[in-house]
Each structure stands twice: as structure tokens, then as C-alpha cells.
Amino acid sequence: MMRKDIQFDSQGRLRHFLTTEGLSRQTLTEILDHAENFASVINKPVKKAPLLRGKTIANLFFEASTRTRTTFELAAKRLSADVININIQTSATKKGESLLDMLRNLEAMHCDMFIVRHMQSGAAHFIAEHVAPHISVINAGDGSHAHPTQAMLDMFTIRRHKPDFTALRVAIIGDIMHSRVARSQIHALNILGVPDVRVIGPHTLIPPQAEHLGVHVFHQMEQGLRDVDVVITLRLQRERMEGALLPSEDEYFNSYGLTPEKLALARNDAIVMHPGPINRGVEIESTVADGPQSVILEQVTNGLAVRMAVMSLILGRGNKSDSEASQ
């Protein structure tokens, strides 16, 4: 069982952001409110704010993800921080140096924050438990455990279109079993008061006793999509099919791919989301991904504001006024 209180300092302020699980509605709402402020900064001619000037942020991506790493880097630079991108493939950890040794060396360079992406669940928690007291850690995705900033940019996107979480029906389609994004989304949706969170997928990709996560389980799109307000499709990792959890991409698309006909089961004003990258013709048809109900590109844009919000809150200067932030 991973400790949740590690995310807060002795004064109850957010020190790390490792998971959405166990957080309060107040904390999640605070992140969303700050992201709203930064969204206005992003749209200004001068897109930088001085909130993290003098801070150094290190991207530690043990697992490749160009989109997430680039968004974190851009968010940090928009806040005027210095950014270090550590190439793990050529770093000393590949030459026998331990992870903790590498962390100690980065600490000696006076870094203030580590952005960690790792293929093993719990890696970000491990690092957070062993870093020096002045360093904060943001989990950019660990194994199949959590991806909290992705979940929060999804919540931000939903709130901009559907402000009242307590009146929503949300359906998440696909590989719930192995998706860190889905787990973080489910926790966040429940914390924010969504009364009807649904997961839709084949038996092999839904975790046992999934209802304990606070969701309703459906194995047929026809039932699961009926009258929902938000449709989230997940990326299907091809290794799942190689592992015999699915028969073929075509069969998966026929049963669980989001098409205009299936989307018509949802409410007329339902929005369509996807954490990316999209496998077109597998999880979603292009006419839906590029259609009027899709907010997929908005999610990418909103990721910048949300990550700026999380960074500024954690480093203790997120309480600046809008006018100060935009100077």
C-alpha cells in the first residue's frame, strides 16, 4: 500500500504530486482553478510568467514519451524555470550507477523538482521517499499505477465544457486493466463528485472487482454509452493483443471502437476525449476523433496550463494573483 500523506509537507501543503487517489476535492479544485488562471496567460502575446525564476526542474524519463516530456518542459519554461532533460538511455544508470546515486548527484546540482516517468509502478513514490527535503517529485506516469497530471488535464477539459461534475455520466472505454490514465481518471472523477462513472471493455481488459474502484462495469458499448455526457477512449497497447488478451485489432474496433453510430448513443452534446497518441481505426474512427464533439486537441493545450498549475502550487508560489502571474 503506497502512502498518500507523502504528497504533503508538515504544513499540509502539496509537496509531491504522485497520484490523485486519496486527495481531497479541495486540492483537485485548487489545481483546476490555478490552471484556469494559467490558461489565460498562455493566450497572451508574452506567454511567460516569472513564478519559478531561479528554480531548476529535471525531467527524468526512464520511459519514452515525447508529448508528455515536451509539455512538462514547455510548462516549466513558461514559468521561467531552468530545465534539465536527462537522457536515461545514455546516463550513468545504464553503466551500473544506482538510481539513488544518480538522484544524489542531481540533488548536488541544486535541482528543485524531478519530473519522473518510469515503467515500474511505484517508482515515483520510491524516488519521492528518498529525495532530499527541498526537492519535489511529480509523477509523469509509472507502470500501470498512476498518471495524475493527465487525469487533471482531463478534469480541466471536462470542467470547461461541463462545469457541474455532480450531474455527469462519464464512460471510459478500453484497457482499464493496464491503464494508469484510467485509474487516475477514476479516482479524480469520484473525488470531484461524478455520480456515474462507467468503464466499458472486454472481460480480459477490465480488472477483477472493478466496481470497488467506484465504477459501473459494462461489456457492451450499446448499454455503456447510453446517455453519457463524456466519452473517454483509451489507447490500446498492441502488446495486449500479442499477449492474447484480444483476438485482433479489427475485432476490437468492431466491438469497442468509437464510431459515429456508437457515439449517437450518448447525449447529443457529449464530448469525446482521448489521452493520445491515437490509434485511428482501432480505438476511434477518424470522423469522430476529428469531429465537432472531439476535444482531443484541447486536452493537449490544457495539459500545459494544468502542469504549470501543479508546478507552481508545489513550489509554493502558486498563490500569486493573476496580474502578478501574467507580468
Q: How sure is the predictor about 93, in pLDDT bands with cuts at 50, 70 and 90? A: low
Q: Rounding to the nearest 10 degrees, give the CA dihedral for residues 63, 69, 72, 78.
A: 160
- Decide if 175 contacts 200 (C-beta within 8 A): no
CATH number at residue 175: 3.40.50.1370
Q: Is the pLDDT of residue 274 over 80?
A: yes
For the chain, what is the domain count? 2
- Decide if 233 contacts 154 (C-beta within 8 A): no
Q: Is the same domain home to 166 and 280?
A: yes
**Three-state DSSP string of 103-127:** HHHHHHCCCCEEEEEECCCCHHHHH
Considering only residues 277 and 98, tell me which one the structure prediction assigns the higher pLDDT: 277
pLDDT single digits (tens) 20-64: 999 999 999 999 999 999 998 777 777 788 999 999 999 999 888
Q: Is the same domain home to 321 and 293?
A: no
CA 252 to chain centre: 24
Percent of the chain with pLDDT over 90: 75
Distance CA 324, CA 327 (A): 5
Question: How, if at all, do strands 196-200 and 56-61 pair?
Answer: unpaired
- Paired with 146 in beta bridges are 142
Percent of the chain with pLDDT over 70: 91
Distance CA 115, CA 95 (A): 22
Q: Is the same domain home to 21 and 39?
A: yes
Which parts of 243-295 fold into alpha helices (H)?
A: 249-256, 260-263, 286-289
DSSP state of 29: H
Q: Please give the average per-residue pLDDT across 102-120, as a whole number.
A: 92
Q: Is the same domain home to 289 and 318?
A: no
Q: Is the same domain home to 200 and 288?
A: yes
Q: How sure is the predictor about 318, in pLDDT bands with cuts at 50, 70 and 90? A: very low
Q: Is the same domain home to 59 and 100?
A: yes
Q: Is the same domain home to 283 and 234?
A: yes
pLDDT of residue 265: 98
Q: Largest alpha-carbon pair distance within the chain?
A: 57
Q: Is the pLDDT of residue 90 over 90?
A: no
Q: Is the same domain home to 113 and 98?
A: yes
Q: Is the same domain home to 153 and 286?
A: yes
Q: Is the same domain home to 152 and 112?
A: no
pLDDT single digits (tens) 53-72: 999 999 999 888 888 999 99
What is the residue range of 234's domain?
Answer: 148-299
Q: Is the same domain home to 207 and 133?
A: no
Q: Please give the average per-residue pLDDT across 175-191, as a whole number.
A: 96
pLDDT of residue 97: 63
Q: Is the pLDDT of residue 327 over 90?
A: no
Distance CA 240, CA 95 (A): 31
Backbone angles phi, psi at 154, to 5 degrees: -70, -45
Radius of gyration of the chain from Cα atoms? 20
- Paired with 177 in beta bridges are none
Distance CA 214, CA 217 (A): 10
Q: Is the same domain home to 74 and 191?
A: no
Instruction: Identify the burial level of 135 via C-beta atoms within 10 angstroms of its C-beta, where 0-12 means exposed, 13-18 middle and 19 or more buried.
Output: buried
- Decide if 293 contacts 265 (C-beta within 8 A): no
Instruction: Identify the burial level of 108 via C-beta atoms within 10 angstroms of its C-beta, where 0-12 means exposed, 13-18 middle and 19 or more buried.
Output: exposed
Backbone angles phi, psi at 166, to 5 degrees: -75, 0
